[in-house]
Amino acid sequence: MSVPRIGVSVDLVILTIRRGRLSTLAWRRDTEPYAGLLGLPGGFIRLDEDLPAAAARVLAERAGLPEAPVHLEQLSTYGYPDRDPTRRAVSVAYLSIAPDLPAPDQPQMSWQPVAGLTQMAFDHVRILQDGVERARSKLEYTSLAAAFCRDEFTVGELRRVYEIVWGAALDPRNFHRKVTGARDFLIQTGTVTTSGGRPAQLYRRGSAVLLYPPMLRSRDQGIGRRRPDSIEFPTASS
C-alpha cells in the first residue's frame, strides 16, 4: 500500500489592536489558486524542523516580525480533503497576539480589520474566526488581555482591549473594580500617566495565568450559564 503525500503547513492568526480595531496580518496572494485574495501568513514545514520552530520561522520570515514580543500558541489543525484545490494539505494554525505591532515591510502584507475579512483564500476565514473566538474566550479565564497591552498600561487601556476584542462597551467603574480585584492579575507600578488628561495609575501584568474569579462575557454576548464564582461584566448600557 502506497503512503499518500500530504503537505503540512503552518498558518498564523496574528492579532493586534490598531486604530481602535481588532486587526490581523494578511497576505495578498499574487499566484493561483486564489490570486488577488488575502490569506493568512503561512508556509510549509521543513523536514528538519518541528511545528513550533516552523511557526517561529513563519512569524519572522513571512510575517516580518522576527523580534516582536508575541504570545504564540497552537490553535487547531485543519485537514479536510478539499481545503486546498491543488493538493492534499493539512494546516496547523497558531494564534499570535502582541501589542502595537509595526506596519509590515513586505508590500503584499498589511494589517486588516478582522470585521472586514469575509472572503479569504483557502479556509482562512474559518481559521481566522477560530483564532478570534479563542482570543475572546481566553480573555474570560486567563490574563491574555494584557498581551495586547504594552509593558505598562492603565485600567482604561486594558478595558479598551476587552471592549474591542469582545465587541461590547463595558461599565468603567465595574470593570476597574473587578480587574483590580482579580488575584495576581495586575500589579501597580507606583507611577501614573503624565501625558495629558487626568493622571491614571499604571499597572503591569501580574503572575496570574488563570484568572480567579473568571471574568465572563455577559449572556447577551453569547456566553452560556454563569458560574457561581465568576464575574459577569455588564455592558455600559445595562
Do 51 and 106 lie in one domain? The reply is yes
Q: Is the peptide bond before 66 cis (omega within 30 degrees of 0)?
A: no
Do 17 and 133 lie in one domain? The reply is yes
How far apart are alpha carbons 65 and 62 in whole angstroms?
8
Do 16 and 83 lie in one domain? The reply is yes
Do 37 and 119 lie in one domain? The reply is yes
**pLDDT above 90 for 49:** yes
Q: Which of 31, 24, 54 is nearest to 42 (CA)?
A: 54
**What pLDDT does 140 receive?**
95
- pTM more than 0.75: yes
Do 21 and 134 lie in one domain? The reply is yes
CB-based contacts of 11, cutoff 8 Å, min separation 6:
40, 41, 42, 58, 91, 92, 93, 94, 124, 127
**What pLDDT does 230 receive?**
37
**Cβ(226)–Cβ(232) below 8 Å:** yes
The CATH number for 65's domain is: 3.90.79.10
The CATH number for 174's domain is: 1.10.10.10
Do 169 and 108 lie in one domain? The reply is no
**pLDDT above 80 for 227:** no
**pLDDT above 50 for 19:** yes
Give the start-end residues of each E strand in the chain.
Answer: 7-18, 21-28, 38-39, 42-44, 71-78, 89-97, 109-113, 186-192, 201-205, 215-216, 231-232
- Encode pLDDT of 125-159 as tens digits: 999 999 999 999 999 999 999 999 999 999 999 99
**pLDDT above 60 for 177:** yes
**What pLDDT does 1 receive?**
67
**pLDDT above 90 for 233:** no
**Cβ(210)–Cβ(141) below 8 Å:** yes
The number of angstroms, rounded, from the C-alpha of 151 to the middle of its chain's C-alpha atoms is: 17
Query: Last residue of a domain, which of 104, 138, 172?
Result: 138
Do 23 and 80 lie in one domain? The reply is yes
The number of angstroms, rounded, from the C-alpha of 33 to the middle of its chain's C-alpha atoms is: 27
**What pLDDT does 237 receive?**
46
Do 95 and 155 lie in one domain? The reply is no
Mean pLDDT, the chain, integer: 88
Can you tell me the mean pLDDT for 104-109? 85
Query: Last residue of a domain, which of 122, 138, 154?
Result: 138
Do 163 and 222 lie in one domain? The reply is yes
**pLDDT above 90 for 218:** no
**pLDDT above 90 for 189:** yes
Show the domain range for 169.
145-232
In sequence order, the β-bridge partners of residue 142 are: 210
Count CA atoms closer than 13 A to 161's CA, side-chain side: 26
Do 126 and 158 lie in one domain? The reply is no
In a domain, 238, yes or no: no
Question: Of residues 228 and 199, which shows the higher confidence score?
Answer: 199
State the amino acid at position 224 in one-letter form.
G
Q: How confident is the model at residue 51 (pLDDT cuts 50, 70, 90)?
A: very high
What domain count does the chain have? 2
Q: Which of 99, 231, 89, 104 is nearest to 160 (CA)?
A: 99
Cβ neighbours of 182 (radius 10 Å): 17
**pLDDT above 50 for 229:** no
**pLDDT above 90 for 119:** yes
How far apart are alpha carbons 23 and 129 in whole angstroms?
12
